[in-house]
Structure 1
Amino acid sequence: MSKEFLVKPDIAKLNEMCKDTISEVLGMEFTEVGDNYIIAKMPVDKRTHQPYGLLHGGASVVLAETLGSVASMLMVDSETHYCVGLEINANHIRGVTDGWVHGRTTPVHLGKTTQVWSIEIINEKEQLVCISRITMAVLKK
């Protein structure tokens, strides 16, 4: 899909927006922005582990939801509209015990009332860890 962000995102502003949120607690950091994609990374450590020492699936979902939600927000006029999540799913493909995971979100559908975003999370070897999809509602203020 080739539609570009309505608002040109600034990585520093995106990271500032995450202060005092679950994104900050889990150590997420936005690292790259393209015309219609965003990439963020998250550490795999005690903050994001489940009891067996693996990356917690819920932490992957938080990364995915953060990416999809932020991307959807950048596709609408914030003076007149806002976006909220309707549904998110995730398939956990590979375990990770340490290092970093990187999530990349790209649009699947950009409609007037809904958006669908795909999020792929990979490990440092560029192996797929999790694939997720989020559906966002576009609402009028």
Structure 2
Amino acid sequence: MFIPTASLSAHTTEDQCREMLGQLNSPEAVGALAAKMGIEFTELSHDHVTGAVPVTDNTQPMGLFHGGGHVVLAESLASMHSFLISGGKNVVGVDLNATHLRAARDGTVTGRAEVLHQGRTIVSHEVKMTDAAGRLLSIVRITNMILKTEPK
């Protein structure tokens, strides 16, 4: 199980964010599905997290990046970010909505999860997925509940 060395707050330094970012890219931290897909966290701060995934080997039968791939990337980013800003408490997704706007056939899909709301028990993110040209591919809104229990 992944245990962060620090939690994210408005006072987290850039050096601390870089250190946490390095820890996030281990298979233990991202989980088996995200590791199989090749998801990599690329940027981290208190108000957002960014990650990328290759289109290759993550396509549906028509050769397009799989719609579920958008959802896995979004949930991986938003859930990990919720986990870190909650101080390492367990989080569970309670709502997810995805709107697909454009297809990707190759390259990399990048997601940026930005906090819309952070409360004591609920964190909501909006995740925008783009291609290498910066074109918007999809938008996912995800809400996570912060549980009172600590990870085991």
TM-score with structure 1 setting the length: 0.89
Query: How far does residue 33 in structure 1 lie from its aligned partner after superposition?
Result: 1.4
1:32-51 Cα deviation digits (max 9, x unpaired): 11331111000001x21000
Query: How far does residue 31 in structure 1 lie from its aligned partner after superposition?
Result: 1.0
Partner of 2:8: 5
* Structure 1 residue ranges, 4+ long, deviating more than 6 angstroms after superposition: none
3-state DSSP class of the match of 1:87? strand
Partner of 1:25: 36
Match of 1:88 among 88, 96, 99: 96
- C-alpha separation between the residues in 2 aligned to 1:42 and 1:77? 26
Partner of 1:48: 58
Write the letter of the residue equivalent to 2:42: T
Query: How far does residue 53 in structure 1 lie from its aligned partner after superposition?
Result: 0.3
Structure 2 contact 52–110 (Cα < 8 Å) conserved: yes
3-state DSSP class of the match of 1:67? helix
Aligned residue runs from structure 1 range 47-66, under 5 A: 47-66=57-76
Query: How far does residue 118 in structure 1 lie from its aligned partner after superposition?
Result: 0.6
Write the letter of the residue equivalent to 1:117: H
More displaced 10-residue stretch of structure 1: 109-118 or 6-15: 6-15
Query: How far does residue 122 in structure 1 lie from its aligned partner after superposition?
Result: 0.3
The structure with more helix, counted as a fraction of residues: 2
Give the % identical residues. 34
Flag structure 2 segments of 5+ consecutive residues without an equivalent: 1-6
Query: How far does residue 133 in structure 1 lie from its aligned partner after superposition?
Result: 0.5
3-state DSSP class of the match of 2:143? strand
The structure with more strand, counted as a fraction of residues: 1
- C-alpha separation between the residues in 2 aligned to 1:77 and 1:91? 30
Partner of 1:36: 47
Count the aligned residue pairs.
Answer: 134
